[in-house]
Amino acid sequence: MGKKKLQRFAENLTFNNLFQPTFEDIEEGFIHKGKWQQYFQNDHSLVLELGCGKGEYTIGLSQNFPDRNYIGIDIQGARLWQGSKQSNELTLKHVAFIRTRIEMIEKIFDKGEISEIYIIFPDPQPKRSKERKRLTAQAFLDRYSHILKPEHLIHLKTDNTELYDYTLQVIREHGHQLVYKTDDVYQSDCPADIRDIRTYYEEKFLEQRKQIHYIAFKLKAI
């Protein structure tokens, strides 16, 4: 492991807005489950970004909409270092990050505790054998349904046409409600937060003249 990565892992331990729970911490009952408004010390709604990487989108949302609380989730500690450090430097008190697998979210958030979910340029898992790992696979949507408030939105933004088409198929086949879709964000009237917040990778995709796709949908009631 490189020296820089080790330094970042060490600095991660000093950030008060980055949680790195062990498996035992989660299984025994995560300390903030059902109590996130107490952590943020306000009664604002709670928004998640899944697979947040360096936290660019989480931070962008928090700056555009400061009347909400934001949590970015990723398994890569070296990536989360950047978002945690930047949000601390910007004194964004309504931002936090969690290093964990997305499969664990039902143990970290209580039923109906989340008001909105963003999935921004996730790994498309292009091989058919990896479909179950796509963050819009029905197995993941089932997990989200336990923590997301009824009738609230999930957003997907991706450059990957296969993932875009796959997600639309999942929505149709499982009876979810499609709210908005476009296969070209920058030739559409999609929401400002989808157009105006760009990650490092999105800038690269646009330089390569790739179209950016976007879907907003609501889960079928369970």
b/e per residue 17-54 (b: at least 16 CB within 10 A): bbbebeeeebeeebebeeebeeebeeebbbbbbbbbbb
123 among known catalytic residues: yes
Burial of 221 (0-12, 13-18, 19+ CB in 10 A): exposed
Alpha helices in the chain (DSSP H): 3-12, 23-27, 36-40, 56-64, 77-89, 138-147, 161-173, 192-196, 200-207
Which backbone phi and psi does 120 adopt, to 5 degrees? -115, 115
55, 82 Cβ separation under 8 angstroms: yes
| Active-site annotation holder among 25, 43, 110, 123 | 123
User: What does the block give as tokens for 33?
Assistant: 């489950």
Residues known to be catalytic: 123
